[in-house]
Structure 1
Amino acid sequence: MTVATALGSIRAVLPVIIVGAGPTGLALALALAGHDVPSVVLDGSDGPPAARPARSVVLAPDVARWAALPGAHRESAVWSGWRTVRRGRTAEHLTFGADQAPRHLPQHVLEATLRDAVARHELVRLARGHRLTDFEQRGADVLAHSVLRPTDGRREEARQWRGGFLVGCDGARSTVRKLLGVPFPGRTAVERYAVAALRAPLPRPGEAALHRGARTGEVTLRPLTEERWRLDWPLPPDEGLVTPEALLSRVEDTLAELAAGDAGGESAARGEGTPAYQLLDTGVHVCHQRLARAWRVDRAFLAGDAAHLLGALGTQQVTEGLRDAENLAWRLAIASHLGANDALLDGYQQERRGAVGRRLRGVDQALPLVRGRGGLAGRLPGRGRGRLALLSDGHLGRGTLGEAPVYGGATTRRGTADGTGTPRVGAPVGDVPVTALDGARARLRDRLGGPLLLVLTAPGARVWDARHWLSAGLMPELAAFAETLDVPAELLVTEEYPGAGAHTVLLVRPDGHLAAWLPGAHTGALREAVRHLRGTTAITPAEPTGGR
């Protein structure tokens, strides 16, 4: 069911003007298309990015669906587990379930896949070669000015674009951010890494790892597909230029130590026992920390690198950009179809800027502890294990450095009191099996990106005959209720959801975050929660809405 079908007759919707065709901008265009909102993507780049295996991205489970698109899934490595090794001893070993595993793929593969998907979608126009020069906000619309850089030597061609909103996804040197006059404070080069991509038959294929060896020090190993790996070594702050010879020495020392079981003895000397390998790509990755002061100015927004920079200690910049796109898309869709309001649109900045800000503060607090700066690490009791845990958190999606954001702002409502073992309001939903009213079965995360989801917990649902659903229990009332909402909504059924009792209804946002959970019979309270979600009513979070 599309948004247009659910809303029936819809007034003409102006396109959203997206500036920048990196992962965030392209994902935003596709997410908007999933809500029947057209977009124009101004692509001022010189073309698709170069193939760089050493420039890869790790996508957390809540945004992993972008790596499952046709073209990307073949080169997307699903990690089987994680191992932390210190001087040959395993300090931590985790295995991942199917819905918990990060996905790792080269960034150019992700971007090429998104470009292909955008090119095939009738609601997205990719304006190649168009560079934004200025824009003006005029009440209910935005007028953007661009120039087309010709490739045949002719003069630049000026163009105007009219849209309902404008989103700057145009990178760290964002033109949109500069035109808005938004400051971009932060720190430069908080961490530097030597990076190598190679093909080698390393131990434990498919398993990512953090090794602290006797000779090589710290190295992170992250598997790609086809025996390819990305290796990262942190560089001391005072280390200068990394020469090709020095980087090759790091590669061979590390491979020799891994082959020797990280024994730390003479057998791990460089070149002795080094497995055969093919060096694919190298580089130096520099991590900056910056956070734009404002992410929304009237009808203009910032997202991705234009809004934030991070990456130190395993924090994932592209994952955060995709979260920006998903959080913003459904808000712009409601505003485009039904009219804008400040509570709805301000929620994007409140939630996403708050989440990234907490991540950056976590890095600031952890860096002195794990890198021994300022003398702090030397005074920490049990510092060895603490360092390893902090170095792993960003990769494993846990703690301040890695956990998926839990939103508690204006668009999140607690339907009942939260307690131990109850669904966590504001968090990404669990990926449980669900069944639609027509009998189609899927995973919950596969249904995201479209209408609001009303998920009813009904034990025994999978053995029901779908033909009888609409006449059973709460189903007639809830099915009729979903049709009366002023935003598109779809009713799904699951046998159980962690922490939720039978006949509970979960209200799931299009970006996959749990907005509320309520007793299924309390449709009045559910309607209020939907209104609150779209910012048209103010609700006190502590207001009771039903029994536990």
Structure 2
Amino acid sequence: MDPVIIVGAGPVGLTLALALARQEVPCVVLDEGPGKDEPRLARTVVLREDTTALMERLTGVPLAEAGARWAGWRSMRRKQVMREVTFGDAAEGPEGVRNPSPLHIAQHVLTNALRTALADKPLVKVAVDSRLDAIEQEPSGVTAHTRGSKGTWWRGSYLVGCDGPRSTVRKLQDIRFPGRTAVERHAVAALRAELPLDGKALLHRMPPWRTSGPSGGEVTARPLPEGVWRLDWLLPPGKDLVTPEMLVARVRETLAGWTGGATPPYELLDTGVHTVHHRLARRWRVGRVLLAGDAAHCLGALGTHGLDEGLRDADNLAWKLAAAWHHGPRDALLDSYQTERRAAVAARLRAADQALPLLRGGGGLRAVVPGSARGHDALLTDGHLGHGVIGAPGAYADSPLAPPHLEGEVPVDTPRGAPVIDVRVTAEDGSFVQLRDRLGRGALLVVLIAPGTGVWDRKHWATAGIMPRLAAAVTALPYPAELLVAESYPGAAAHSVLLVRPDGHLVTALSGVRPADLYTAAEAALGGPVKAAAGAAAEAGAAAGSR
């Protein structure tokens, strides 16, 4: 079968290629550039816990060593500290669980780690200096043409546009991209300096040394390795030119304001202007052509980070494309990519757009309502730290892949369609691993909750009790599945059985071994009965051939 064509060699495109290669799917990555990124310390990304785990799983690199884990988070309004958060595995988060720090890393460092990992993957071919200019679809595949020094035709089974907000793929498929341009603008500087922030990221609203700009101004400081900081200043509405003189003045007054005296010594390393757009493509799939990342959506106001969502696009799409590539067309499964991911991104866009007038609207009645400042700060903090409707990862509660009501279904602390909690499990070879380590391998995960098994060698319990019956039920599933055992899972009773998708979202939780329910849930997670899906695809292909 022909490889999957991926257009665009940014973090999303390279992540998708790695995820597909991990599931034995060949890929061609069309990179219009020279195959390397220019180092830019003013262009960084903030990755949440789940996307950091995804990147480390795919690259095999401990990215925390290449980026910075913040010691904490502090938000201030004028001279008052509004909120302080301490990060770490032992810290308590808003839901009473561990509160890991986001990872702040330069984008070129992340991209280089992905490129290095791809260099060892014979299933992936990266074609540099290859700019897409035509796409042709047929029922059996897709053909793409590139121009440039290596202009040629490429044949693929599917094509995924990961080519950014000006996506050629999206334009060639005539997909509308409505939304708003320049929702916010930020002046950005990367500098090396000793700041009195104790390694914590800082959001400072209405700093006392500034009296102009939206709500009196706003500046964010995020640490990077080796004493480097990225500073972002929210700019007033409009298109006023950000001059070097203005940016240097902002740097000097901000550093002097934080240190309480003269401007401390600093080394300016990089500068830029970050413009935030809010857009959402009408369709994410047209036949065998799909969109992901900035080609499908743009968001980033109020602390949200579009790359996080783009990486979740790749994680969601990879296992579905792999299933279609290995096991035949599964239209319902591929359609669910748009349904799930577009709804999750749309919810974040709506939340950010609804909050923007409150946070950037200036004075009026809102300015004197008791508690409004803290409420505004909470919204911004949610966006920056990945909590709440503005920042939290989406759950696919209304997914078309959700199974019908099952007689043996029981509630756990993870709702249907939400990402599972990363507990320690015992793999089939007897090794202890984290649940997230088993994701992205192209298999469903079946997790038995069996207290006490962690202290016994696997040979003592693998053939005892309900294990043989459960192992037989897993073997009979309509898709490859791996059986894991956990000592416990939040909210799950002993002998509960969890069914988890390859991208880590919960399908269902069952009380005990229920082979019929488990099979029904697995079948639903794959888009319905396999034979029906294959038959529908064959009929569609025959109809297309007769026209």
- Deviation, 1:224, is 1.2
**Match 1:391 to one of 364, 380, 389:** 380
Partner residue of 2:3? 15
Q: Is there any run of 5+ residues in structure 2 with no aligned partner, and where? A: 90-97, 211-216, 531-547
Comparing 77-86 with 341-350, which one deviates more in the overlay? 77-86
1:88–1:373 CA distance, 2 compared to 1 (3 A): closer
User: Structure 2: how far apart are the matches of 1:238 and 1:25?
Assistant: 33
The answer as to whether partners of 2:409 and 2:511 remain within 8 angstroms in 1 is no
Answer whether contact 1:59 1:67 (CA < 8 A) is retained.
Answer: no
Distance 2:67 2:222 in 1: 12
Deviations 1:168-223 (A, max 9, x none): 11111111111111011111100000111111222344321212321144211111
| Match of residue 215 from structure 1 | 209
* Structure 1 residue corresponding to 2:276, chosen from 270, 287, 291: 287
Q: CA deviation at 1:136?
A: 1.4
Pick aligned residue for 2:525 from 488, 513, 533 = 533
**Which residue of structure 2 lines up, in the alignment, with residue 172 of structure 1?**
165
- 2:28 maps to a residue whose letter is V
What does residue 206 of structure 1 align with? 199
Structure 2 residue 138 is the aligned partner of structure 1 residue 138: yes
Are residues 1:64 and 2:58 paired? no
Given that 1:143 and 1:163 are in contact with CA atoms closer than 8 Å, whether structure 2 keeps it comes out as yes
Instruction: Please list, as runs of the form range in 1=range in 2, the aligned pairs for 1:197-346 lying within 5 A after superposition.
Output: 197-212=190-205, 213-216=207-210, 217-238=217-238, 240-260=240-260, 267=261, 272=262, 274-346=263-335
Percent identity (aligned): 55
Of residues 512, 515, 524, the one that matches 1:523 is 515
Residue 448 of structure 2 corresponds to residue 448 of structure 1: no
Inter-CA distance 463–181: structure 2 relative to 1 (3 Å threshold): same
Query: How far, CA to CA, are the matches of 2:475 and 2:88 in structure 1?
Result: 36
User: Partner of 1:411 in structure 2?
Assistant: 401
Equivalent position to 2:73, from 82, 91, 99: 82
Q: 2-side partners of 1:61 and 1:135: how far apart? A: 37
1:92-144, CA deviations, whole angstroms, 9 ceiling, x for partnerless residues? 11223346321110011111111111121011111111222212111121122
Letter in 1 for 2:131: R
Q: Which residue of 1 aligns with 2:537?
A: none
What is the CA distance between 1:379 and its match in structure 2?
Answer: 7.1
Q: Is the 8 A contact 1:368 1:374 kept in 2?
A: no
> Conserved in 2, the CA contact under 8 Å of 1:371 and 1:377?
no
Counterpart contact for 2:278–2:297, Cα < 8 Å:
yes
Cα deviation 1:29-81 (Å, max 9, x = unaligned): 01111111111111112442211101000011111125533274432212232
RMSD, aligned CA: 2.0
Q: Deviations over 1:300-353 (max 9, x none)?
A: 100011111111111111111100000000111111111222211111000111
Q: Which amino acid aligns with 2:512?
A: G
Please give the alpha-carbon distance, in whole angstroms, between the structure 1 residues aligned to 2:35 and 2:25: 25
Aligned residue type for 1:513: H
Partner residue of 1:95?
Answer: 86
Q: Provide closer, same or farther for how the CA distance between residues 447 and 202 of structure 1 changes in structure 2, counting only shifts above 3 A.
A: farther
Amino acid across the alignment from 1:215: W
Relative distance call for 1:238 and 1:423 in structure 2 (3 A) is: closer
**In 1, distance between residues paired with 2:112 and 2:364?**
45
List gaps (5 residues or longer) in structure 1: 1-12, 151-156, 261-266, 539-548
**Counterpart Cα distance in 2 of 1:215 and 1:427:** 44
Deviation at 1:482, TM superposition (A): 2.1
Secondary structure at 2:114 match in 1: helix
| Deviation for aligned residue 1:259 | 1.7
Mapped partners of 1:183, 1:349: distance in 2: 15
Match of 1:7 in 2: none
For 2:455 and 2:472, locate their aligned partners in 1 and report how far apart those are by CA, in whole Å. Answer: 23
Paired letter, 2:4: V
Q: Provide the residue aligned with 1:541 in structure 2.
A: none
User: 1:480: Cα distance to partner?
Assistant: 2.4
Q: 1:60 to 1:172 in 2, by over 3 A?
A: same
Q: 1:78 to 1:461 in 2, by over 3 A?
A: farther
Whether 2:17 is the aligned partner of 1:25: answer no
Match of 1:402 among 391, 395, 398: 391
**Kept after mapping to 1: 8 A contact 2:409/2:510:** no
In structure 2, C-alpha distance between the alignment counterparts of 1:456 and 1:254, rounded to whole Å: 54
| Equivalent residue letter for 1:372 | G
| CA distance in structure 2 between the aligned counterparts of 1:284 and 1:480, rounded to whole angstroms | 58
> For residues 38 and 374 of structure 1, do their structure 2 counterparts lie closer, same or farther at Cα, with a shift above 3 Å needed?
farther
Offset at 1:165? Answer: 0.8
Q: Is the 8 A contact 1:72 1:109 kept in 2?
A: no
| Distance of 1:452 and 1:218 partners within structure 2 | 45
**Partner letter of residue 357 of structure 1?**
A
Deviation at 1:374, TM superposition (A): 9.6
Pick aligned residue for 2:428 from 430, 437, 454:
437
Distance 1:198 1:497, change over 3 A: same
SS of alignment partner, residue 367 of structure 1 = helix
Within the candidate set 474, 484, 489, 1:482 is matched to 474
* Matched position secondary structure for 1:468: helix
1:537 deviation in Å?
4.2
Task: Report the TM-score when normalising by structure 2.
Answer: 0.88
